[in-house]
Structure 1
Amino acid sequence: MTPTHLPGRPAIPTLPAVLDTFNSAPVEEAHKLLLDCLRSHRWADRVSVHRPYPDVASLLAASDEAAYDLSPGDLAEALAAESLPTLPDGAYSAAHMAMSAAHAAYESKFGHAFVICLDGVPPTEALDHVLEGIRSRLTNDPEDERVVAAEELRRLAKQRLAARFRGAGSCAAGPDGAVPGR
């Protein structure tokens, strides 16, 4: 902690920045935090090995770069750990049934959970957005869907990192702290 001192006032210790804590954390801790954002060991290794990051924007850029380089095996590993986005509070039972049926059809065709980034989608529109996404993506062939799913995973990882580091460094962008897609 670095004390902050103004003339005529007592020195007040300041807490280390969240990014500073991440940058100086042991590899295992950084790796665990990253795996909470995207369950790919290769991605977490690539992002953690490039520490320290000067700001959150640099961390998010490194996250993107590492996500673009996911192999089909890395992508399968990350997709296996994902689950269907949660429905907003108060969603009616028919919505749960529609979501379950659409997800079952998707998972049957592609062999993994449906992933979609809900960043910027108002909570009142989340259900419709997810259902529309599943229905439209069910028309994809497996290779096209792998590309779309990889992009959604990249966006989810970036959104989750931004939520964890919101207010740290110079990156003011980020969701409201919720982790959609989980």
Structure 2
Amino acid sequence: MRGTSVPAAPPRPGGLDGFNRAPQGSAEADLLACCASRRWATRIAAHRPYPDLDALLAAADEASYDLSGNDLAEALADESSPGLHDSAPQSAHTALRAAHAAYESSFGHAFVICLDGFSPTEHLNQVLSGIRLRMNNDPDEERSIAADELRRLARARLAHLVADHPEHLMANQPESDTPGPAHRVL
């Protein structure tokens, strides 16, 4: 009906408090955006409230270390390999696509790497050199490295999620165009 408004749901508070108070399903959905293992997300959401970020990250690490092979496969299946910004030269896009295709063909999942500590100008070189280096790994060794990189990515995404960014605490929202730990464009 025109002129009749439906009351909006009250906004969830941001930050760690908002994460701690979110309904279980919403918290799990937010966590799945950090790491797509349902077991990981359920475990972290079930142990709320967290007194501070360090406690939350410690719980995330512990849950990451406890991922089974199937849990890791589930999480890796949802990852996409880092891409380039549209303004990058075509040759860089081609080189990166070829490197990702070779990696995915060898290991059966997207190449994951945490680029914390590197400037954006170093990202492309870090990804390409990381793929080149890790292509020599046997599948078990690479799965272990990928699991550690995924854990580091999940920590960064989780810290960003609760860093008082309420816009990121809305489950099932499209990824932002603003750079952040979960942003996958180099």
Query: What is the TM-score with the length of structure 1 in the denominator?
Result: 0.83
Structure 1 runs (4+) deviating above 2 angstroms are 176-182
Counting matched residue pairs gives: 161
Matched residue SS, 1:101: helix
Return the offset for 1:163: 1.1
The structure 1 residue matched to 2:28, chosen from 23, 27, 31, is: 31
Residues 35 and 75, structure 2, Cα contact 8 Å, conserved in 1:
yes
The match for 2:150 is 153
| 2-structure distance, mates of 1:80, 1:131 | 21
Which structure carries more relative contact order (alpha carbon 8 Å, separation 6+)?
Answer: 2
RMSD (Å) for aligned C-alpha atoms: 1.8
Pair 1:101-2:104 in alignment: no
Distance 2:54 2:33 in 1: 19
| CA shift digits 1:38-77 (9 cap, x unpaired) | 0000000111111000011111111111001111100000
Alignment of 1:1-182 (within 5 A): 16=13, 18-88=15-85, 90-166=87-163, 177-181=180-184
Deviation at 1:178, TM superposition (A): 4.5
Aligned match of 2:176: none
**CA deviation string 1:159-179 (max 9, x = no partner):** 0011112259xxxxxxx7342
State the Cα distance separating 1:17 from its structure 2 match: 5.2
Distance 2:83 2:98 in 1: 14
CA distance in structure 2 between the partners assigned to 1:78 and 1:17 by the alignment: 25
TM, length-normalised to structure 2: 0.81
5+ long unaligned stretches in structure 2? 1-11, 166-178
Counterpart-to-counterpart distance in 2, 1:134 and 1:112: 12
Q: Find the structure with the greater CA-based Rg.
A: 1
- Write the distance in 2 (CA, Å) between the matches of 1:18 and 1:78: 24
Q: Which runs of 5+ in 1 are unaligned?
A: 1-14, 169-175
CA distance in 2, matches of 1:160, 1:178: 5
Give aligned-pair identity as a percent.
59
Distance 1:101 1:24, change over 3 A: same
